[in-house]
Chain A
């Protein structure tokens, strides 16, 4: 079956530090990959996505590259801000004919001034 594994949190960083949140996946075929972000008390928002190998998704300074050879989709940001404090979820969609997004368990990020 499909699965997503992301690094356990919580992660605490100082402002302007470099962020990496690891995500690896198991899936048949060619899934699409997503990063969602959840701010305190809110629902999930799409942060970025990639639909094929070697695609790079980017948004708000965050980036992730779809690496089929390592089945990974690591999230990175060069300089985090306090406002980036949130829970980050990696997810995959197997594609046509499948209705289910499979999520990782989430990584809580806290950025301190």
Chain B
């Protein structure tokens, strides 16, 4: 299995509070991604990173920010959590962007915003 951990695995927070989710990899892969999974929507890309300090927005980036100060860590921050951000969040990594290179997924973080 690819060495990807996510923390915390479960979190309950209140509307308006800041939340940071962490993704840590031991594979030294260049590319890292944050997705959210919601019923009826599959997985949707929030933000991705193509190197240290290099990040860009995905399909559903509003209300989220990211940072990557080291190859192995990719942080997702909800500056002021809202109930619509209740979801399961998955981190993924990949070695390359070339066609055919798959992404490897972490175990997920279940976030509930009350």
Contact = CB atoms under 8 A, between A and B. Distances in A.
Contacts of A93: 99-101
Given A34-B102, A105-B42, A42 B97 contact: no
Q: Is the interface of A mostly helix, strand, loop or mixed?
A: loop
Contacts of A98: 97
Query: Interface extent on B, as a size class?
Result: 20 to 34
A96 B97 contact: yes
A105 B40 contact: yes
B99 A96 contact: yes
A78 interface: no
Contacts, number: 61
Given A34-B102, A43-B105, A43-B108, A100 B90 contact: no
Query: Interface extent on A, as a size class?
Result: 20 to 34
B106 A32 contact: no
Interface of B: 4, 31, 33, 40-45, 48, 50, 56, 58-59, 90, 92, 97-108
